[in-house]
Structure 1
Amino acid sequence: MSQHDEQRRKLLGRLNRRLAYTAPLLALVAGGGVLQASAGDDAAMADVTSPSDASLMLASNHTEGAAEAQGEAEGEAQGEAEGEAEGGDSAAVARPEGYSPAYSETGDNPQQMLARGEALYYDTSLSSNGLACANCHGSNGQDMGYNSTFEQPFPHRVAMGAHQFGMSAVHADEMVQICMVVPMAAEPLEWGGEALTSLAAYVVEVQKRVAGEPHDL
């Protein structure tokens, strides 16, 4: 290998490590075949003068970036799986001792309460990540994202409650709290507060709708 080829190989290797998708746009100057990069690399790039060198470099960067992205995705998926296996603190989402809900889990809740619950169902300000209940569970009566167990009256089994908090069955207000803490990445709502009470009452009616039963929505 000639000295020039060796120098070029080392240069390309160094640039492959430094240039990624967050680097400034790379461009070939028409006719001259000169590759331009970010400030600080100009002197080193002087020896890279052919389009074939540029193509090699861009292909290498693409491969490296794709591998990094795949690794990050696999890491996130593994982390989520481990989080489910480890579980969470059920005290954050389970009814506290002595708590008595201000809504009825069999229905017949006031229409004003249901209207407030419906408004909160679409309220993204409840979360820390821009989600609302409707993002996961549908809107305008187009219910989605519920397991078959949701067709059973409350309390019933909820997958997130079982997998992440060890709860064999949950009430409607506990389901709301689970959704607040996990997918919506927020703090639990105040137990007995208007927001939790209204949302839970609304979820009771959604459960009836999903089950094909008469409801007040």
Structure 2
Amino acid sequence: MSYDNDGKRRQLLGHLSRRLAYTAPALMLAVGGGVALQAGSEWPPGRVGKVMAELSETAWLVSSAHAEAEAEAEAEAEAEAEAEAEAEGNAEDQAEAEAEGSAEAEAEGEAEAEAEGDAEGDMSDVQRPEGYSPAYSEDGENDAELLAQGEALYYDTSLSTNGLSCASCHGSDGDDRGYAATFEQPFPHQVGMAENQFGMAQVHADEMVQICMVAPMAAEPLEWGSDKLTSLAAYMVEVQRRFTGEPHNL
């Protein structure tokens, strides 16, 4: 009785290809063992070894293909996970940037509102009232007693609510500083703070004192015609002269 060796081998190889779920060792044991038993009684000598070699090569190819497929699947899963993590990170960064931008915009809005509030200061607090006649002279004709009183108040922090004095911003012992170039002009003259915060094109010495009381020193304006306001204004007239290098009485 003849035996179709080639047909049997093709049948075994086809069966092996369809069973990709097997691992190579298991496939070798299952198929190779069966072939070896069958071949032992019906195949000619030497045929078993050849078939087993061919089966080993086929099993290795199947196992390699299976391993490559698993590796590709793992790589795709890792790539998807990385993409998801990157997307989540970008979303968090965008949310953080939007929050920072919102906070900055809010801070800018508050600063603008505060600046607008400063620019809308009450001019009536710092501008000479109608019919007011000062008791000092802006021509430098002020007596020594008035100047001495003004100098003492220049260093007095009790005039403010925040611990400042006139000297805190403008120096002491003749160290005149913190003045704009317009301070070189005799009173009345233009002052940036008066114009920006109170809409006043120029100020007298007593008006400048009132502006400093209300703004930097955060206090109530001094009473118009009071000794404090009069002596401080007279002192500032002499400071202005000293600042420009003109003769003064300090």
Q: Which runs of 5+ in 2 are unaligned?
A: 1-102
SS in 2 for 1:195: helix
1:156 pairs, out of 189, 200, 217, with 189
For residue 83 of structure 1, report the CA deviation from its aligned partner.
2.5
Matched AA of 2:188: P
Partner of 1:84: 118
Question: Which of 221, 237, 241 is matched with 1:204 structurally?
Answer: 237
- The alignment status of 1:137 with 2:170, answered yes or no, reads yes
* Letter of the structure 1 residue corresponding to residue 123 of structure 2: S
Residue segments in structure 1 that go unaligned for 5+ positions in a row: 1-68
Going by fraction, where is helix more abundant, 1 or 2? 2
Distance (whole Å) between structure 1 residues aligned to residue 151 and residue 240 of structure 2: 13
1:192 counterpart residue number? 225
Measure, in 2, the Cα distance between the counterparts of 1:184 and 1:71.
29
Residues 1-217 of structure 1: pairs in structure 2 closer than 5 A = 77-85=111-119, 87-217=120-250
- 1:106 & 1:163 partners in 2: Cα distance? 27
**Count of residues in correspondence between the two structures:** 150
Does the C-alpha gap of structure 1 residues 195 and 73 become closer, same or farther in structure 2, counting only changes over 3 Å?
farther
1:103-161 CA distance string (max 9 Å, x none): 00111201000000000000000011111000011111101110000000000001111
Instruction: Report the AA paired with residue 221 of structure 2.
Output: P
Percent of matched pairs sharing the same residue: 72
CA separation of 1:116 and 1:73: change in aligned 2, threshold 3 A:
farther
What's the TM-score once normalised by structure 1's chain length? Answer: 0.64
Cα drift, residue 213 of structure 1: 0.7
Q: For residue 81 of structure 1, report the CA deviation from its aligned partner.
A: 2.3
Change (3 A) 1:73 1:137: farther
Q: Distance in 1 between matches of 2:104 and 2:162?
A: 23
Larger-Rg structure: 2
SS at 1:160 equivalent: helix
Distance in 2, matches of 1:91 and 1:103, equals 21
Q: TM-score, normalised by structure 2?
A: 0.56
Deviation at 1:80, TM superposition (A): 3.7
Stretch of structure 1 that moved more, 131-140 or 72-81: 72-81
- SS class of match (1:128): coil
Give runs of ≥4 in structure 1 deviating > 3 Å.
69-80
Question: 2: distance between equivalents of 1:82 and 1:163?
Answer: 10
Q: 2: distance between equivalents of 1:211 and 1:78? A: 35
Q: 1:150, 1:194 → 2: CA distance?
A: 24
Aligned amino acid, residue 109 of structure 1: N
**For residue 115 of structure 2, what is the amino acid of its counterpart?**
A
What letter matches 1:200 in structure 2? A
